[in-house]
Structure 1
């Protein structure tokens, strides 16, 4: 018996060690800038409406566009919700992508889970990233949680699950419920683990409590160097761990300037407000269109029509603290409102703006002066009511942007001697010497120079 005591004691110690051993801390500490993934700082986002992108409306059909998008300079693909859509109270013939019936499955309209994983792998094989649209605020009207976990939902005055806002096809989740929070985090982790995605665009993030984001985002970032984008511009979102928010104040000002309702220097007031509104390292996702703005508010064909689009697109691609967005079809351009609840495929035949966007996206990729954390300085270059000019700089790389945000030809005079030197004219792809001599800039014209 005495001879047996030592081995048994040793075994007990080993078992105790195994049972009580804590999970090892992640040793993968990816480099970050201001708390954000390095890969997004000079990156960009391209939003994909899978249903409408091709006649087939599938992941496999979309994949055929990847080489074109890669050549254009697209870095991050954002898929609108890829989950199954509820049939109860469904809108239109196909329903809203945002009426999710299952958070851990793929909409059969688009293909299978294997199809999606293959598409993600194809995107990664091209050195690109993938984020998916996530809907934590509500579910569709036949999600299994309605029966299995009725306490996951906010109740209306009759005790039934409440409709979220005035969206009759969805039911409002109660994210104050800790069990629901854990269930939602687990579902988000599923996509990181099983599909190897690189982040989330979070729908209606502004109506989800801060404590959920403060719980979920650190857990997700511990798994992988994910990028988190909030649909919303509330200060608490930036403080709760999101890498980027929506620039609604700036977007509304852009629309007013495009209509001639405000002068170009109106952009300055928003920049000043943002300095106090957000933590210093907050990124904003600038755009001239997205799925909501296109389907409901006539963007960009109505809000920034014809030649008006170009200088504002340049602005979104070159502004400080920004990561720019291009919506499906803007490179064509698709000049109509794409239906939201029914099949309404885009066509890609002319690609009239593709070279324009290619120039901008490749400039951003190669020039650190367009990193989200690069410095910004206004430049006096003409009538401030019409001309908006600025520099961006990081290290020894610098660019100068001059925009005519008016429908009249403007005279440009650059007097800052530090800017009067040899430059690369980005859109003309020529080398020239900037001088203090006046030059004309056509209505809604733009120039971008590299130093």
Structure 2
């Protein structure tokens, strides 16, 4: 469903339907594996860039903040942009890459903020309504006072969006910029194409 949004330009409908099915079908303490690449996908269905295009980082952020266990396939953090040989030795070129920093910040947050913990130890995804629901995905997860708000613009266009965050008042830190954000009632955000905001109160 994420590939349909980022690669094919479809609205969020099927992705939202997946979330609804996930909540109604799987037990709360079940762990779903979340990924933008794995050994089968990489070898037979294209690599992370060909599958998710400019929306790759947005998809990575979603995988790191929704219910489930994120998977990082070999080389993704180094910017792997090709399919690896499935049966033969195929060396990965390791290098510093922006992907590694995104993963580092997401996983550090997942460790310290209970809202993103797995299974029944973590918080349930609750959708935050906004005025661009076909392209902007926004939700909050909360557990024992820990709270994370995720906003992702799954669109090739910059948008200005109003989030219905009147139930999420407080002071947060945006994890990728370290900037403080205070929410009082509805929140207005300017989101560049394929951008994302992750707010944590811890």
Q: TM-score, normalised by structure 2?
A: 0.91
Match of 1:356? Answer: 102
Whether 1:285 aligns to 2:44 is no
RMSD: 1.6
Q: 1:401 aligns with which of 146, 150, 172?
A: 150
Whether 1:369 aligns to 2:115 is yes
Contact between 1:370 and 1:392, CA under 8 Å: does it hold in 2?
yes
Between structure 1 and structure 2, the one with the greater Rg is 1
Moved over 4 A (4+): none
1:274, distance to aligned residue in structure 2 (A) = 2.2
Match of 2:15? Answer: 267
Contact between 1:260 and 1:406, CA under 8 Å: does it hold in 2?
no
Cα distance in 2 for residues equivalent to 1:295 and 1:311: 22
Post-superposition CA distance 1:192-236 (Å, at most 9, x none): xxxxxxxxxxxxxxxxxxxxxxxxxxxxxxxxxxxxxxxxxxxxx
Q: TM-score, normalised by structure 1?
A: 0.42
Whether 1:425 aligns to 2:195 is no
Contact between 1:399 and 1:449, CA under 8 Å: does it hold in 2?
yes
SS at match of 1:438: strand
Match of 1:390? Answer: 139
Trace 1:259-338 onto structure 2 (pairs within 5 A): 259-305=7-53, 307-320=54-67, 322-338=68-84
Contact between 1:382 and 1:410, CA under 8 Å: does it hold in 2?
no
Match of 1:209? Answer: none
Match of 2:130? Answer: 381
Long gaps (5+) in structure 2? none
Contact between 1:411 and 1:441, CA under 8 Å: does it hold in 2?
yes
Trace 1:14-413 onto structure 2 (pairs within 5 A): 253-305=1-53, 307-320=54-67, 322-372=68-118, 373=120, 374-413=123-162
Cα distance in 2 for residues equivalent to 1:411 and 1:352: 25
Contact between 2:128 and 2:164, CA under 8 Å: does it hold in 1?
no
Cα distance in 1 for residues equivalent to 2:23 and 2:190: 33
1:277, distance to aligned residue in structure 2 (A) = 3.0
Equivalenced residue count is 197
Cα distance in 2 for residues equivalent to 1:343 and 1:437: 50
Post-superposition CA distance 1:92-145 (Å, at most 9, x none): xxxxxxxxxxxxxxxxxxxxxxxxxxxxxxxxxxxxxxxxxxxxxxxxxxxxxx
SS at match of 1:427: coil
Cα distance in 2 for residues equivalent to 1:433 and 1:351: 31
Cα distance in 2 for residues equivalent to 1:399 and 1:381: 17
Cα distance in 2 for residues equivalent to 1:286 and 1:380: 24
Q: Label 1:288 to 1:333 Cα distance change in 2 as closer, same or farther (>3 A).
A: same
